[in-house]
Amino acid sequence: MSVQLKMRICFVVVIFVLLLGALRQTAAADGKMTGDYSKLSGIIIPGFASTQLRAWSFLDCPYSPLDFNPLDLVWLDTTKLLSAVNCWLKCVLLDPYNQTDHPECKSRPDSGLSAITELDPGYITGPLSSVWKDWIKWCIEFGIEPNAIIAVPYDWRLSPSKLEERDLYFHKLKLTFETALKLRGGPSIVFAHSLGNNVFRYFLEWLKLEIAPKHYIQWLDEHIHAYFAVASPFLGATETVKAALSGATFGLPVSEGTARLMFNSFGSSLWMMPFSNILNYSGWPTNIVNIEFPIRGCDAYPSVTDQEAIAPTKEVISQ
């Protein structure tokens, strides 16, 4: 089943829950469920590469008329990607060791629903990069109130610990649930997609350490009504292995080597690696052959399929 079809199915379910608020259920003597579903909110946690990133630096791009200025779209601006890929990479890549920004350019996630609707707005690029736009349009057609749908974008390049350390993301997410409860008068429906499911599960574990244990279940009951997981990599994703070893372009006009360089600089890439469903057993062999590719700055790579264009790469193999 495709991700788009899963999103459509879950959308129908969410719409029924949110819109049947007009049919208020009153308390019954036989102890049936009670509540006013019109007070529910929908909180969207987007997936990997599903949030716009904007520049927070001035960056001059040589040999290109297009430069980066604060608030310029970085992810995803295909025009600058095509015209100045090495310059664009400086704004996207992170240091693989400490997850810091490039010295010349830094990017931060956009906010609000507009950050997750289309990654590259435009007459041609908009429909090709649409993520949540149709879903939000359906909500409007069904009469969902503007304050009933809340997006919580995040920097999908970072590991969970860095999300909290740099952006206080999980503190902000907790405040979002509490604000929605105060604003609407009811709990929220969590709609998480792809990596957003790992983010939400990490949030639940983080919450255990943030509030008193005896209040944990009470907080969940008051603030979360339901949780819908779409395309959730609970046991990891096999595509992650391909992206880490040979590069996965996901339709971007870049080579596999450039995609690999970019993907391996993100701390979130390890968050999606496959693992065993057996607790405390990774499923990976204990004798691992480690192949290290030296990082050659931020320059784009040629395609790995074009072996003649690639210089011999030094490999360090250890047992």
- The values of phi and psi at residue 227, to 5°, are -135, 120
Q: Where are the alpha helices (DSSP H) in 74-153?
A: 78-83, 85-92, 114-117, 125-128, 133-141
267-294 pLDDT tens trace = 998 888 887 666 555 555 555 555 565 5
CA distance 35 to 119: 37
- Which pLDDT score, from 0 to 100, does residue 308 have? 43
- Which pLDDT score, from 0 to 100, does residue 307 have? 42
158-197 pLDDT tens trace = 999 999 999 999 999 999 999 999 999 999 999 999 999 9
- Which pLDDT score, from 0 to 100, does residue 235 have? 83
| Mean pLDDT value across residues 6-14 | 51
- Which pLDDT score, from 0 to 100, does residue 16 have? 44
Q: Where does the pLDDT of residue 92 fall: very low under 50, low under 70, confident under 90, or very high at 90 and above?
A: very high
- Which pLDDT score, from 0 to 100, does residue 147 have? 87
Residue reference for tokens 């990654």: 119
Residue 130 bridge partners (DSSP) = 118
Domain chopping of the chain, boundaries: 3-24+35-51+110-230
Strand ranges inside 133-249, DSSP E: 149-151, 188-193, 224-230
Task: Report the mean per-residue pLDDT for the chain.
Answer: 79
| Mean pLDDT value across residues 16-39 | 48
109-162 pLDDT tens trace = 999 898 998 888 777 777 777 788 888 888 888 888 888 899 999 999 999 999
| Mean pLDDT value across residues 68-96 | 89
Q: How far apart are the first and last CA of the chain?
A: 40
Q: Which fold has domain 3-24+35-51+110-230?
A: Rossmann fold (3.40.50)
Q: Where are the alpha helices (DSSP H) in 32-106?
A: 78-83, 85-92
68 in Cβ contact with 56 (< 8 Å): no
204-247 pLDDT tens trace = 999 999 988 889 999 999 999 999 998 888 888 888 888 888 88
- Which pLDDT score, from 0 to 100, does residue 206 have? 94
Q: Where does the pLDDT of residue 62 fall: very low under 50, low under 70, confident under 90, or very high at 90 and above?
A: confident
Q: How far is CA 82 from CA 8, 67, 247, 297, in A?
A: 32, 13, 18, 19
pLDDT at 43 over 90: yes
150 in Cβ contact with 46 (< 8 Å): no
DSSP-assigned letter for residue 68: B
CA distance 304 to 256: 6
pTM: 0.78
> b/e per residue, 151-174, with b = 16+ CB within 10 A?
bbbbbbbbbbebbbeeeebbeebb
